[in-house]
Amino acid sequence: MRTEQPKMIYLKDYQAPEYLIDETHLTFELFEDHSLVHAQLVMRRNPARGAGLPPLVLDGQQLELLSVSLADQPLGAGDYQLDDNHLTLHPASASFTVDTSVRINPQTNTALEGLYKSSGMFCTQCEAEGFRKITYYLDRPDVMSKFTTTVVAEQHRYPVLLSNGNPIASGPGEDGRHWATWEDPFMKPAYLFALVAGDLWCVEDSFCTMSGRDVALRIYVEPENIDKCQHAMNSLKKSMRWDEQTYGREYDLDIFMIVAVNDFNMGAMENKGLNIFNSSAVLARAETATDAAHQRVEAIVAHEYFHNWSGNRVTCRDWFQLSLKEGFTVFRDAGFSSDMNSRTVKRIQDVAYLRTHQFAEDAGPMAHAVRPESFIEISNFYTLTVYEKGSEVVGMIHTLLGAEGFRKGSDLYFERHDGQAVTCDDFVKAMEDANGVDLTQFKRWYSQAGTPRLAVSEAYDAAAKTYSLTFRQSCPQTPDKVEKLPFVIPVELGLLDSQGAAIALRLAGEASAQGNSRVISVTEAEQTFTFVDVAERPLPSLLRGFSAPVKLSFPYDRDQLMFLMQHDSDGFNRWEAGQQLAVQVLQELIGQHQQGQALVMDQRLVTALGSVLADESLDPAMVAEMLSLPGEAYLTEISEVADVEAIHGAREFARKQLAEQLFAALLKRYQANRELSRATAYVAESEHFARRALQNIALSYLMLVGKPEVLAAAIEQFDSADNMTERLTALAVLVNSPFEAEKAQALAVFAENFKDNALVMDQWFSVQAASPLPGGLERVKALMQHPAFNIKNPNKVRALIGAFAGQNLINFHAADGSGYRFLADLVIQLNGFNPQIASRQLAPLTRWRKYDSARQALMKVELERIRASGELSSDVFEVVSKSLA
């Protein structure tokens, strides 16, 4: 909790540290009501800061200082200064040691930052600034140190004692206690420190690296979860091999550990050699985790593992550079997932997510650049912009340089900066130097917030056989800046002739055509590209693979979109054409709804999706993606003023129309795939994910028609599926159906069967919280009283409250403001014990500008109420005050 008004911190104020910590020796004594932390820091003046010995200001929060020595001399009260956030010492020589002992209370740490207890085990979360809640330290990423850690705890309760690096010694202690010492040979900042003590079992495996070293791999979990680790272990081994093959990166310690904990503020954390994971990002087996959960585990295991190089070996100089490690690592994990599954489907999912959520962030009060220039609370900047847009920025560098050039750049980056704490500029510089290119203008992607618009128009000259495309870029103002300079926008494109065949692409001035699909760089506010030898008016396929995170507009008519859906050689753009067609049709329906007219849907959408459904040669995962209409949140994002009822009404109407008119085709694909599911045991592989995705989306359409045979099919799938993917979809379609008795029965059976599995119960909560049927808020309130709900557990909060406010738009945005009131009450409550979660849950209220004036007023009242509610954490303070600015 803050004691003074939180302050804004600026990138321009960065200064290198006054002192360095060469070695850090820690001893933790863990007890049931408190813990003692003894730290010895081997320090010296930072030569880069010149001569002189300024005061040494160590960070520390919520620590009870028991003793402090400087250069082996115990200090008395007058020898140092202490406030809520710092311990200030006065060194008398350039090299010295600092010894401190502090008492901390992990048992009462509900913020889940620093050292805390979760389900009987001790664990840590230090990124970004949690280490200062463990001991006095220079808690900043550019202070890197060699850590040795000894953990002492009761043997019986905590047989497993872990920290970073390699185990070097262990033994019994007094009074039933024991100890273990770990040494991490790699210099690291404090945010990568980790400690775990608990009664854990582990699954073991090994990996032989490309240079022939054997690495022990261990996944630690609570004993009852030991049967749910194999998928994560397989994912880990695949990640290790992939990083060797794709980036030439080899693992560097003798052991790599993952520990699953139940109470965790985010997905996982890349601590050196000792990754700590939310159990939802580790545990997966057919009966309890969906296909999506399996893919999420694979992606997060990979992401954290890849951080070993992009983040740990080369780390961030300061927290403004967060995207240096996060954007790059998301780009790396997306490449991995694309190679493990379908590249096109992965791209579709990532783009849909980015356009729905990151674009909304860019358009809201928390909009910030990929490399922000200021912040109040860094925890608020683990955002879609830093992660997902950051990954797009790295992806554009990849597109501009090509795979080989990019690899040369990443090799140089890792080689040049190994063991250093660096900036986004250093990353780009390595890409420039390795390729002899100038990315100066490109770097505006790091400093300018907001989603650029790219409006494209065409002109065909039949006599000259030339075809020109004119691009006009602009970027709306964001809270940080009004005027934006032109970006470098790589646009991958192709031209289709009237048969759907690709036209060879030759720009005016070029000696010959250069392929059928190519990347052009739009670098000016307005720029025209003229293609020659174009024998007939072509149809352009623009921004293939979503080659830049922009809002592109081109005046396609619906027939042209249907043509692209069928003929575009770029799979992503075939999907995109279908989405644009659906958006046009849905926007027309939204208009009809607003006018109070009867809704009449353009039949071309039915025809287009009907042919997708009938095409058995298409990847079923692609078919499933193409059948998914743009979501309500996306339709909200692209609206000037979002009309909650009209969006929901129009989309539901369209879904029902499609279900009725394509009933036979949907049923056929459903039955064929359900048959296969029945005949084969569950396999967690791409082909099977694809098949089940189609089966399940077909079932959710079919169920809208309300036929008894479909109800029977849903119940059959619910009762006899051997996996959670099929069972949960069956539950969801029942929950969203009007069949009250069957719904109640399914919910009760599910809860009874899975009451002991917290992660499965999370899904049970989410399915109900996201149901758009009337009465959503009452259902959520009732579920908060369920014995399996626990507001202290972040997964539960996300499953119930996050799903309600984030996915159930029609209920959350109830015109009477009841949803807003509920969320504000909850944020006020969460602020009192877990500021990070409080601040995250607040996001839907920050989007108030998207809504009608009545809703805007209601949302602002709630933001004001939170602001006035008392002691706000810096996390909530920043979001609320920026939202109301």
Q: Give me the active site residues, please.
A: 304
Beta bridge partners of 65: 102
Whole-number minimum distance, CB 165 to ligand B3K, in Å? 19
∠ CA(421), CA(426), CA(431), 5° rounding? 135
Judged by beta carbon distances under 5 to 8 A according to partner kind, the member of Zn ion, ligand B3K, none in contact with residue 629 is: none
Tokens standing for residue 862: 């709630």
Q: Which of residues 319 and 682 has its CB atom nearest to ligand B3K in the complex?
A: 319
Closest-approach residue to ligand B3K (CB): 127
Q: Do residues 481 and 510 touch, judged by C-beta distance below 8 A?
A: no
Judged by beta carbon distances under 5 to 8 A according to partner kind, the member of ligand B3K, Zn ion, none in contact with residue 239 is: none
Task: Give the binding-site size for ligand B3K (rule: CB under 6 A).
Answer: 12
Beta pairing, strands 81-82 & 195-198? unpaired
Whole-number minimum distance, CB 491 to ligand B3K, in Å? 30
Judged by beta carbon distances under 5 to 8 A according to partner kind, the member of ligand B3K, Zn ion, none in contact with residue 382 is: ligand B3K
Judged by beta carbon distances under 5 to 8 A according to partner kind, the member of Zn ion, ligand B3K, none in contact with residue 637 is: none
Q: Which of residues 302 and 810 has its CB atom nearest to Zn ion in the complex?
A: 302
Span interacting with ligand B3K, options 267-275, 467-475, 501-509, 598-606, rule CB under 6 A: 267-275
Q: With b meaning 16 or more CB within 10 Å and e meaning fewer, what string describes 314-332?
A: bbbbbbbbbbbbbbbbbbb
Judged by beta carbon distances under 5 to 8 A according to partner kind, the member of Zn ion, ligand B3K, none in contact with residue 313 is: none
Residue 127 engages ligand B3K in binding (rule: CB under 6 A): yes
CB half-sphere exposure, 775, CA atoms < 13 A: 7
- The four Cα atoms 475, 476, 478, 484 give a dihedral, to 10 degrees, of 40
For residues 526 and 510, give the distance between their C-alpha atoms in angstroms, rounded to a whole number.
21
Applying CB under 6 A, among 116, 382, 487, 765 the residue interacting with ligand B3K is 382
Beta pairing, strands 255-261 & 214-221? parallel
Q: Do residues 46 and 67 touch, judged by C-beta distance below 8 A?
A: no
DSSP string of 804-860? HHHH-HHHHT-TTSHHHHHHHHHHHHHHTT-HHHHHHHTHHHHTGGGS-HHHHHHHH
Tokens standing for residue 667: 């049923």
Q: Do residues 852 and 859 touch, judged by C-beta distance below 8 A?
A: no
Considering only residues 315 through 374, tell me which ones interact with ligand B3K, judged by CB under 6 A.
326
Q: Which of residues 309 and 689 has its CB atom nearest to ligand B3K in the complex?
A: 309
For residue 448, give the amino acid letter.
Answer: Q
Span interacting with ligand B3K, options 75-83, 104-112, 302-310, 824-832, rule CB under 6 A: 302-310
Block residue for tokens 């000037």: 640
Residue 543 engages ligand B3K in binding (rule: CB under 6 A): no
Peptide bond into 299 cis (omega under 30): no
Task: Give the binding-site size for Zn ion (rule: CB under 5 A).
Answer: 2
Provide the mask over 271-310, with x wherever binding to Zn ion is found by CB under 5 A and - wherever it is not: ----------------------------------------
Residue 263 engages ligand B3K in binding (rule: CB under 6 A): no
Maximum Cα–Cα distance for the chain, whole Å? 95
Q: Do residues 146 and 22 touch, judged by C-beta distance below 8 A?
A: yes
Applying CB under 6 A, among 270, 291, 576, 625 the residue interacting with ligand B3K is 270
Residue 702, burial from CB neighbour count under 10 angstroms (0-12, 13-18, 19+):
buried
Whole-number minimum distance, CB 437 to ligand B3K, in Å? 29
Residue 18 engages ligand B3K in binding (rule: CB under 6 A): no
Considering only residues 317 through 336, tell me which ones interact with Zn ion, judged by CB under 5 A.
326, 329
Cα dist from 594 to 514, 588, 631, 648, whole Å: 48, 10, 19, 12
Block residue for tokens 């007890």: 31
Applying CB under 6 A, among 118, 239, 290, 379 the residue interacting with ligand B3K is 379
CB half-sphere exposure, 674, CA atoms < 13 A: 24
What are φ and ψ of residue 557, in 5° steps? Answer: -95, 170
Q: Do residues 583 and 536 touch, judged by C-beta distance below 8 A?
A: no
Q: Which of residues 219 and 269 has its CB atom nearest to ligand B3K in the complex?
A: 269
Judged by beta carbon distances under 5 to 8 A according to partner kind, the member of Zn ion, ligand B3K, none in contact with residue 142 is: none
Q: Which of residues 379 and 541 has its CB atom nearest to ligand B3K in the complex?
A: 379
Q: Which of residues 69 and 338 has its CB atom nearest to Zn ion in the complex?
A: 338
Whole-number minimum distance, CB 840 to ligand B3K, in Å? 10
Judged by beta carbon distances under 5 to 8 A according to partner kind, the member of Zn ion, ligand B3K, none in contact with residue 218 is: none
Q: Which of residues 257 and 601 has its CB atom nearest to ligand B3K in the complex?
A: 257
For residues 540 and 846, give the distance between their C-alpha atoms in angstroms, rounded to a whole number.
38
Judged by beta carbon distances under 5 to 8 A according to partner kind, the member of ligand B3K, Zn ion, none in contact with residue 855 is: none
Residue 76, burial from CB neighbour count under 10 angstroms (0-12, 13-18, 19+):
exposed
Applying CB under 6 A, among 112, 128, 376, 654 the residue interacting with ligand B3K is 128
Whole-number minimum distance, CB 387 to ligand B3K, in Å? 7
Judged by beta carbon distances under 5 to 8 A according to partner kind, the member of Zn ion, ligand B3K, none in contact with residue 726 is: none
833: number of Cβ within 10 Å: 16
Span interacting with ligand B3K, options 59-67, 69-77, 266-274, 621-629, rule CB under 6 A: 266-274
Judged by beta carbon distances under 5 to 8 A according to partner kind, the member of Zn ion, ligand B3K, none in contact with residue 379 is: ligand B3K
Residue 266 engages ligand B3K in binding (rule: CB under 6 A): yes
For residue 491, give the amino acid letter.
Answer: V
Query: What residue ranges bind Zn ion (CB under 5 A)?
Result: 326, 329
Query: What residue ranges bind ligand B3K (CB under 6 A)?
Result: 127-128, 266, 268-270, 303-304, 307, 326, 379, 382
